[in-house]
Structure 1
Amino acid sequence: MKTDTPRETLDWGNLGWLSHPPATGNKNLTVIDVEVKPGMGHDFHRHPDQEEVIYCIKGQVEQWIEQEKRILGPGDAVYIDADVVHASFNVGSEPAHLIAILGPCVGEEGYEVVEMAEEAPWNSLRD
C-alpha cells in the first residue's frame, strides 16, 4: 500500500521503494516510484549490471540515453540496457512522476548506480 511504501528524499526529488530485497525479498526486479521536482533531475548515471525501464506517469521529462535526448510525457516509456549512461530531468512546472523498473536485483538494496555527471561528455551535454 502507498502508506506502507518506504520513501527516500533526495535533493532532486523522492523515491518510493515499491519492490526491492529489503521490502519484499524480490531477487529479480527493483521497482521504484520516482517523483522529480520541477527543474531538477537524476543526473547522468549508469547501472552496470541492471537493465531499466522508465515509465512516465505525469509531467514532462527530458530523458537522455547516452547522447540522445527525447521528451517523455504521460504514457511514454524507455528501455535502457545495462551499463548505458542515462539521465532524467523534469522540464515541466509541476513534479514529474515516473516508475523505474530495474532487473535483476543487485546488492542488498537491489539497486546499483554509478554517477557519471562529472565526467566528459556527460558534464557538458546540457550546457
Structure 2
Amino acid sequence: MTTGANLGRFMISDETAPENLEWGKLCWMSSPPATGAKDLTVIEVNIIPGEGHDFHKHPDQEEVIYVISGKVEQWLDREKRILGPGDSVFIGADVVHASFNVGDADAKLLAILGPCVGEAGYELVDVASESPWNGLR
C-alpha cells in the first residue's frame, strides 16, 4: 500500500446529502471535496417534471450525461433530442447544453465531468439569458 495515496472512497447514496435546487437536486458522488478526485466529477442529477438545468457550459470540462430514468429534452448546442433510460450524450468542453424533464416523473441522470476544475471540481457558465439560448424553448 502506498502511504498518502488516494486509494479511493465508497460513496453510499443514503449517506450522501443532496444539494436541493429549484429544479431538482444534485448528489455529488465524486469531486475533490467528497473523494479527493483529480480527474472525475460525478453527479447524480434529479430533475423534477417540467423543470430543467437551463443552458450553460463548462469551459474546461468535457461531460457525459447518462439517463438512468425519465424522459429528458437534451440540448447539445442548438440540436435537441428526447433521451430516455440508457441514452447518453457526450458534450465537448465549452459547448452549450441544457437538460429539461419532459416526463411525468422525476428524471434521474448521471453527469460525469472531467477533468476536475477548481476546488469543487466543477465549473459552470450560465448562458440561459443570452441570445440565441434564451429563444430556443
| Structure 2 length-normalised TM | 0.91
Root-mean-square deviation (Å) = 0.5
Of the three residues 97, 115, 119, the one matched with 2:126 is 115
How much identity, in percent, do the aligned residues show? Answer: 67
Distance 2:59 2:18 in 1: 24
Higher-Rg member (1/2):
2
Please give the secondary structure, in 2, of the residue aligned with 1:63: strand
- One of 58, 61, 64 as aligned partner of 1:50: 61
What TM-score results when the alignment is normalised by the length of structure 1?
Answer: 0.98
Deviation at 1:21, TM superposition (A): 0.3
Aligned residues: 126
Aligned-pair CA distance for 1:102: 0.1
Structure 1: distance between partners of 2:35 and 2:127: 29
Q: Distance in 2 between matches of 1:87 and 1:47?
A: 12
More strand by share: 1
The runs of at least 4 consecutive aligned structure 1 residues that moved more than 4 Å come to: none
The yes-or-no answer on 1:94 pairing with 2:105 is yes
Residue 25 of structure 1 is aligned with which of 3, 15, 36? 36
Structure 2 runs not aligned, ≥5 long: 1-11
* Alignment partners' CA distance in 1, 2:13 and 2:67: 18
